[in-house]
A and B are shown apart, each in its own frame.
Chain A
């Protein structure tokens, strides 16, 4: 079943110091817990005994040997949260979910655990659900948090989030607009680019909403490879001078209005991007937002 996945994870971390921890962390993030078969395979493939792997897996609280629910609720019981009434909150969660700390609901929706400190003492009592932090939690808020988690924490909606705005970009060489009105992403015209990588050619389209990372591509590029990005009209490669702050690959440049340049990382799958505003006047910002 998962043999190949586990083999890949083991090979990836085999040479690194403390590899066992990295391997177990990754397996846990893939399956949500550490299946028994997975631990046996890890032992076999790392040439260590199952006893040692099991000792590590049971030592750290972060690892779970039992399947966990879709949503993980962690209630902080650290000193600061404790004095502000965290035990009552934990009781309330436990009552509403019908499970004790460390258990999973029967419908496999929620796992509930108490932790000793989340490092956000000033915001206590703190509750973390699926990596979303809730501060100053009261027993009255518990039901709301559970409902919200059940619905899923949606990514911000680009149409209503005021932090997200639309940009218009042109080719810096031929100055042809790169906007593609026929193909929409996030409900707005997309940015059309030609791309090639080791003989393969294709078209990539990016969302023109700054802050959204939606993309679309018809080329079959392997993730993590650096690809060449061209203007689809003049066929010139988009010049690059910046280095991606995320992964260190070269970035491709487009112009966004008179005063700004827009850079995207040329590594396929990397979300590195940057809006470089050369002259930060009100005009240029207005132009971009308009």
Chain B
């Protein structure tokens, strides 16, 4: 057994346990996107960032991939962690503003504005679907392609894969496309269902009572394009 301290509380865990699991055991909430029980930790979204160590040697690590060490001192919501996490959420928002899950996260961490160039990606490249397909469905029909800016997820050559059984597992686990805002189709839109309670954007005639807390309003921005 390994004993470590999380936010001042001592906890003993089995060897090989990750910090995330230990923190969950104690009940400290750590937000995650790419983490999923049953899939190998991947450390792609960086949302689960925590601070380990003390003084000048303290550093930020992703708790889903970091294994617990004897005597490790972990802080899950220090000022440094919160600042880093807020930045990560802002970046995620910039790439994938339509995701309800990311919008809720932003709301929860009181992020009302993101300062980056807005993109309307469908994917945050968290790799959940890739791991689902490989590890749980044993199919390996989809994977990462390209690199850098051109990195994407999909089947080889963008043609239907012959090993895909169309189980839908990839869609089921996707944090970016489940409960997706679909502004262009008002009846399907989920804006207004998010955790935000501040006054919504008022310029949306065709969207009636839909709310969007984002500034600038995502729906309005898309309409302009």
* Interface of A toward B, CB cutoff 8 Å: 36, 39, 49-55, 58-59, 65
| B163 lies within 8 A of A49 (CB) | yes
| B140 lies within 8 A of A52 (CB) | yes
List the count of A-B residue pairs having beta carbons below 8 Å apart.
31
Complex contacts, B145 vs chain A, CB 8 Å: 54-55, 58
Complex contacts, A52 vs chain B, CB 8 Å: 140, 143
Closest residue on chain B to residue A61 by CB atoms: B147
User: Can you name 15 extra interface pairs (CB under 8 A) apart from A54-B143, A59-B147?
Assistant: A36-B157, A39-B156, A49-B163, A50-B156, A51-B142, A51-B143, A51-B161, A52-B143, A54-B145, A55-B143, A55-B144, A55-B145, A58-B145, A59-B146, A65-B157
The 8 Å CB contact of B155, one of A36, A39, A51, A59, is A51
B141 at the binding interface (Cβ < 8 Å): yes
CA distance A110 to B150 in the complex (A): 24
CA distance A53 to B145 in the complex (A): 10
Within the complex, the shortest CB–CB distance from B160 to chain A, in Å, comes to 12
B interface residue count range (under 10 / 10 to 19 / 20 to 34 / 35 or more)? 10 to 19
Given contacts A36-B157, A39-B156, contact A51 B147 (CB under 8 A): no
Would you call the interface of chain A mostly helix, strand, loop, or mixed?
helix
Within the complex, the shortest CB–CB distance from B146 to chain A, in Å, comes to 5
Would you call the interface of chain B mostly helix, strand, loop, or mixed?
loop
| CB-CB contacts below 8 Å: B123-157 with A | 140-147, 155-157
| B140 lies within 8 A of A49 (CB) | yes
Within the complex, the shortest CB–CB distance from A47 to chain B, in Å, comes to 12
Complex contacts, B144 vs chain A, CB 8 Å: 55
| B146 lies within 8 A of A51 (CB) | no
Complex contacts, A50 vs chain B, CB 8 Å: 156, 161, 163
| A54 lies within 8 A of B147 (CB) | no
CA distance A270 to B143 in the complex (A): 43
Closest 5 CB pairs of A and B: A51-B143, A54-B156, A49-B140, A58-B145, A58-B146
**Which residue among A51, A54, A65 has the maximum number of chain B CB atoms within 10 Å of its CB?**
A51
**Which residue among B143, B147, B155 has the maximum number of chain A CB atoms within 10 Å of its CB?**
B143
CA distance A49 to B155 in the complex (A): 11
CA distance A29 to B143 in the complex (A): 26
Complex contacts, B143 vs chain A, CB 8 Å: 49, 51-52, 54-55
Closest residue on chain B to residue A50 by CB atoms: B156
13 examples of A-B residue contacts, CB within 8 angstroms? A49-B140, A50-B156, A51-B142, A51-B143, A51-B155, A51-B156, A52-B140, A53-B156, A54-B143, A54-B145, A55-B145, A58-B147, A65-B157
Closest residue on chain A to residue B142 by CB atoms: A51
Complex contacts, B161 vs chain A, CB 8 Å: 50-51
Complex contacts, A58 vs chain B, CB 8 Å: 145-147
Complex contacts, B156 vs chain A, CB 8 Å: 39, 50-51, 53-54
